[in-house]
Amino acid sequence: MTPEPASPPDPVSATRLPPPRPVRGVVLVGLMGAGKTSVGRRLAAALATPFVDSDDEVERAARMTVPEIFATMGEPSFRDGERRVIARLLEGGPRIIATGGGAWMNDETRAAIRARGAVVVWLRAELDTLVERVSRRAGRPLLAQGNPREILAGLMEVRHPVYALADVVVDSHAGDRHETVVARIIDALAARGDVAGGAVAAAPVRDDAAGDAAADDHAADEHAADGAHETGKAGPSRPAPDTPDTPGGAAG
């Protein structure tokens, strides 16, 4: 009896492969407006991996906003708490972590990230793109300090050489959709062997009449606290904020 020919693979089933997963933590760095939070959320969804914003965690631990921490406790205390929070997050298994604009500039924070084997992705955007994105968001401390273009240009000059120490550099252009930037990151991680297995889950596509799908909520999603990171306004130094799991001192 002639055996029945094998059926071709079900194209629907083929799309139901589990998504690839990062084999280690992924830390997003870059200036405000680059899209660390908005892209990070979508990257985490595509990789079926938890997402966390380090500023949110610091604020939760301190029960204050980042600008309030800067004003009342000082930048050195904030940076110490930030470092400890990021280190703790990286010890909880692979996840996508969006950091404030100044986090990667801190030597001790960079060392803590390196020590825990995370891959660091710099989301890089051109000056015109950053200015346009941050200008869409009212209430940013950066915008109250002077000319945003001049401030951002100065920050780029100082910070880009340090951001360039990241493991991966991914460009975020004006007009790029979030999904485009996410795909660039995943391709770069896959090329390094930092993601394994499965098929990439399709993130929801949002239509934007303005054309720059990133522009509106690159600015809106980026944590408002990033303005404190960028301006570097520091008040008096006090002890670092506690974290929820270690009373009396930040964990990590």
Evaluate whether 42 touches 218 at the Cβ level (below 8 Å).
no
The verdict on whether residue 7 carries a ligand-binding annotation is no
Evaluate whether 177 touches 213 at the Cβ level (below 8 Å).
yes
Amino acid at 123: L
The verdict on whether residue 124 carries a ligand-binding annotation is no
The verdict on whether residue 36 carries a ligand-binding annotation is yes
The verdict on whether residue 83 carries a ligand-binding annotation is no
The verdict on whether residue 233 carries a ligand-binding annotation is no
| CB neighbour class for 248 (10 Å; exposed up to 12, middle 13-18, buried from 19) | exposed
The verdict on whether residue 34 carries a ligand-binding annotation is yes
Element (H, E) at 135: helix 127-135
The verdict on whether residue 14 carries a ligand-binding annotation is no
| CB neighbour class for 212 (10 Å; exposed up to 12, middle 13-18, buried from 19) | middle
Q: How far is CA 6 from CA 11, 15, 69, 194, in A?
A: 15, 20, 65, 35
The verdict on whether residue 37 carries a ligand-binding annotation is yes
The verdict on whether residue 140 carries a ligand-binding annotation is yes
Query: Which of 73, 140, 81 is CA-nearest to residue 106?
Result: 81
Beta-carbon contacts of 224 under 8 Å, excluding residues fewer than 6 positions away, are 65, 137, 139, 140
The verdict on whether residue 249 carries a ligand-binding annotation is no
The verdict on whether residue 38 carries a ligand-binding annotation is yes
Residue 82 CA to residue 80 CA, distance in Å, equals 5
| Residues facing 122 on adjacent strands | 29, 169
Look-up of token digits 């990439």: 200
CA torsion angle 250 59 235 101 (round to 10) = 100
Evaluate whether 30 touches 122 at the Cβ level (below 8 Å).
yes
- Annotated binding-site residue numbers: 33-38, 55, 79, 101, 140, 159
- Annotated binding-site residue numbers for Mg(2+): 37
- Annotated binding-site residue numbers for ATP: 33-38, 140
- Annotated binding-site residue numbers for substrate: 55, 79, 101, 159
